[in-house]
Structure 1
Amino acid sequence: MNAQALVDERGELWLALAPLWLDREPSERDFARMIEVIKRHELSLNELEWIFRLELAPVMARNQLSIAGSWREFDEYALMKRLVAHNLRLKGWRRKSWALFSGLTTMMTRHRWNELIARVMMERGESPDT
């Protein structure tokens, strides 16, 4: 897959989910936008989990650890460049390594992710045990 195909396929979703990593709790507006974009992409909860863990968290967690990180908002162009570069390399041993360490890269935002997934499930009319 090339860079443009990645942007076309995932760009909107990645940018919609980026507020999970800001220094503030996502607003109702943020959650509503995330849910709307997730609905358009028609992804399963399992697919969303792996996008969160492998495609987003390795890039976004670096921002949280950086002293000079952008905490109030993201430069969407720079963020997209980093996400595309990461995802173009996400094959073989790199993919396996990120899967192994995804608990570390997601722990700072897991509570926000869980809230989002609960809202997605409610929107879809799913219960937690389905």
Structure 2
Amino acid sequence: MTSMALTDAEKSACTTLSHLFLDTEITTEELNSITTSLRALNLPSPTLDRILRYDLFPILYPNIISVAGVWSGFDDYWLLSQVESRRMTEPSRIRTVQDSAMWFLLSGAVKPLWSEIRVKL
């Protein structure tokens, strides 16, 4: 998806939403914290949907299927540079098909959590 560079609010949304991709059990308190952080950004829900689906998911879905150990978060610099790189590059048909297939197969790992957060925004 070619687009402008991330705004400061979008950067914060990326780092906050990336917690949904960690190999940890997310508690109610953590969901509430994520919701509060996102609400403070004043980004419309469709923008947050797009960030989750098109910016973060293609980069972070491998963590959903990885058997690597648990860690506390993704490196912000790495994450944001990956998102901005994807945004600045016109997607190929192969990338679009692959991203769609992975979303179809694996989004169930993040969609229920996102739905809980989204209704509280």
Could you tell me the TM-score, scaled by structure 1's length? Answer: 0.66
Structure 1: gaps (5+ residues): 121-130
Percent identical pairs in the alignment equals 21
* Deviation string, structure 1 residues 66-100 (Cα, Å, up to 9, x no partner): 444x6322222222222222232255747854673
Residue identity matched to 1:14: C
Residue identity matched to 2:113: R
Structure 2: gaps (5+ residues): none
* 1:73 equivalent in structure 2: 72
Aligned pairs for 1:38-117 (under 5 A) are 38-68=38-68, 71-74=70-73, 75-89=75-89, 91=91, 93=93, 96-97=96-97, 100-101=100-101, 102-117=103-118
Q: CA deviation at 1:22?
A: 1.1
Higher normalized contact order (CA 8 Å, seq sep 6+, divided by chain length): 2
Could you tell me the TM-score, scaled by structure 2's length? Answer: 0.70
Q: Could you say what the CA RMSD is over the residues aligned between the two structures, in angstroms? A: 2.9
Q: Aligned pair count?
A: 117
